[in-house]
Amino acid sequence: MVFRRGYLPLSEIPTTATQQTGIAIIFLMTSLAFVTWGARMYSRFSKKQIGIDDWFVTVAMLFSIGLHIPYYYYCRYEYIGFHTKDLPKSYDIEPVLFYNWIMQVLYNPILALVKSSILFFLLRLGGHNRSIRWTIYGLNAFNIALMIAIFFTVIFQTIPINAYWDLSIKPERQIDGPVFYISSAIITIGTDVLVLLIPFWIFLGLKMRIAAKLGLIVVFLMGGVVTIVAILRVIDMHKKFYIKGYDSRHSLGDTLSSIEVNLAIIACCGPALRPLFRRMFPRLFSGKSTNDTGKYKTPIRYGNGTARVTSFHLKDMHRNRTQTEIRGYSPRVESHSTQSTSSSSGVGRS
């Protein structure tokens, strides 16, 4: 994979207030996700309760950090924030396609890894119930299989691979990008909804303090917000691929990918911050309830096995992670004449 020619230096590319706002949103969301993840890992390490779900979200965080380096270059070379009619003659689609391809490869695993992290948490929380356990097994297997399938499809969406961004190379084979991106998005949104429902199934019948219930609702709503962003992203993608005259550059639609993946990480890490909040607000997060134990009483082990709970006391929920949902696909931009139609997280060639 070799560049066909040198790309225009970023110092020679103009910018706009809209573009600067978009880039600020991208890096702000990544920073918030990193701080939340760092607080989560500090909490887990201090309690010696590191589990497989922590490592899954850690890998997702690393992918998110890596994603936003090419993200920045993509926004600059794609002239995000400009009207298409105002593109300069120096506009070059090849660096746009190149950095977008990297974005797609990095973007795809993030949401799936976060989703698996949540499912591993839910398995530890309600896995002693046979129906719940097998539902989680099946959903997680499908999630991982979908992640692998999309990952390799993205890498080999054109053969040879560098024909994706090098316009001097004629692709021997290539996928129907818009159909693939939108259909895979719809499938993954469906799995998001299923994962959002599992915690309600687990907590059905549990009695806890109003403050604790409100805390759970906030966590669930965060997962729902991620799914809403995913839906908005699909709508935006449909406009870019199928609505003629839609100028996707002069908007902040391309920030939806960053918002989505980082909100997912934040929501995923939220419940693990409970110990820190208990230290700051001990009365609010004491976890006492009229009936703390609920109906599931099978002992569970978590993390490295140093912590053991014999019931679902809410105060022990910080040992696990809850709900945040997502999708796992990655788009690209279709180029035609002087305009490339960019998707929320990626671009493609026609």
pLDDT in tens, the chain (350 residues): 444 456 888 888 999 999 999 999 999 999 999 999 998 998 888 878 788 989 999 999 999 999 999 999 999 999 999 998 889 888 899 999 999 999 999 988 999 999 999 999 888 777 667 888 898 999 999 999 999 999 999 999 999 999 999 988 999 999 998 899 899 889 989 888 988 888 777 776 566 666 666 666 667 677 889 999 999 999 999 999 899 888 888 888 889 999 999 999 998 887 777 777 777 666 655 555 444 444 444 444 444 444 443 333 333 434 444 333 333 334 444 444 444 444 444 444 43
- Sketch the domain layout of the chain as residue ranges: 10-322
What pLDDT score does 226 carry? 92
Helices (H) and strands (E) in the chain, counts: 8, 6
What pLDDT score does 247 carry? 86
What pLDDT score does 213 carry? 63
DSSP state of 293: S
| Residue 49 structure tokens | 């309760």
The answer to whether the beta carbons of residues 44 and 303 sit under 8 Å apart is yes
The answer to whether the beta carbons of residues 347 and 340 sit under 8 Å apart is yes
The answer to whether the beta carbons of residues 273 and 318 sit under 8 Å apart is yes
- Burial (Cβ within 10 Å: 0-12, 13-18, ≥19) of residue 179: exposed
What pLDDT score does 283 carry? 64
**CA–CA distance from 192 to each of 11, 115, 153, 229 (Å)?**
41, 8, 21, 12
Q: 87-97 burial, b if ≥16 CB within 10 A, otherwise e?
A: eeeebebbbbb
> 10-322: which CATH topology?
Rhopdopsin 7-helix transmembrane proteins (1.20.1070)
What pLDDT score does 204 carry? 65
What pLDDT score does 214 carry? 67
What pLDDT score does 185 carry? 87
Beta carbons within 10 angstroms of residue 214's beta carbon: 11
